[in-house]
Amino acid sequence: EAKVVLVEFFDPACETCREFYPHVKDIVRESRGKVRLIMRYAAFHQGSDEAVKILEATRKQGLYWPSLEAALKEQPVWASHSQPRPQLIWELLFGSGLNMAQAKQDAASPEIAKLLAQDMADVQALNVRKTPSFFVNGKPLKNFGLDELKTLVADEIKVQYGS
């Protein structure tokens, strides 16, 4: 129901995305319900498409956010750019309550492949060239940086809420 929508195009294997994630979470939390975060994928790195499929499979079981956080925490282990091993994400999820057999089936589903294809089509349409890339109520973050993102969000909160 938030009037400010923060869309982040990210790549689960992107180090900058990993570094920005806690800050983006803080922006949303500190907005007290005025900002809604939508995570979209820009699977630019080798193996990222597989990581996306795994993450989306966890969403179907209500475990997306803890799975994303586990994948980002262990990103240096599985996301080596010279030899990515996104299948290691499955190992990170043992003990999370995830039904592994169902998740693996879901990860291979046409539904999740379609979602990734749509995000990548939107990446092209919006001319997203790097991750993370941000849009606030459709306005792109033109100059990349945390302070710039905070300013763009704060400005849009003022426009939408008058405070």
pLDDT tens sequence across 20-51: 999 999 999 999 999 999 999 999 999 999 99
What's the length of the chain? 163
For residue 160, what pLDDT is reported? 95
Angle made by CA atoms 20, 27, 148, in degrees to the nearest 5: 65
* Tokens linked to 143: 């100059």
Percent of the chain with pLDDT over 70: 99
Q: Are strands 133-136 and 4-10 parallel, antiparallel or unpaired?
A: antiparallel
Determine the straight-line distance between the first and last CA of the chain, rounded to whole angstroms. Answer: 17
Is pLDDT above 90 for 163?
no
- pLDDT above 90: percentage of residues in the chain: 94
Mean pLDDT over residues 66-93, rounded?
92
pLDDT at position 81, please? 76
pLDDT at 1 over 90: no
Q: How far is CA 28 from CA 21, 25, 48, 154, in A?
A: 11, 5, 25, 11
| Residue in the block written with tokens 């997203």 | 128
Q: Which tens digits make up the pLDDT trace of 120-141?
A: 999 999 999 999 999 999 999 9
User: Which three-class secondary structure state does DSSP give residue 84?
Assistant: coil
Please tell me the predicted confidence (pLDDT) of residue 33. 93
For residues 58-83, average pLDDT: 93
Q: What is the pLDDT of residues 84-117, one digit of tens each?
A: 999 999 999 988 999 999 999 999 999 999 999 9
Residue 21's Cβ-side half-sphere holds a number of Cα atoms within 13 Å equal to 20
User: What pLDDT sits at residue 23?
Assistant: 97
Q: Are 31 and 157 in contact (CB under 8 A)?
A: yes
Position 15 scores a pLDDT of: 95
pTM: 0.90
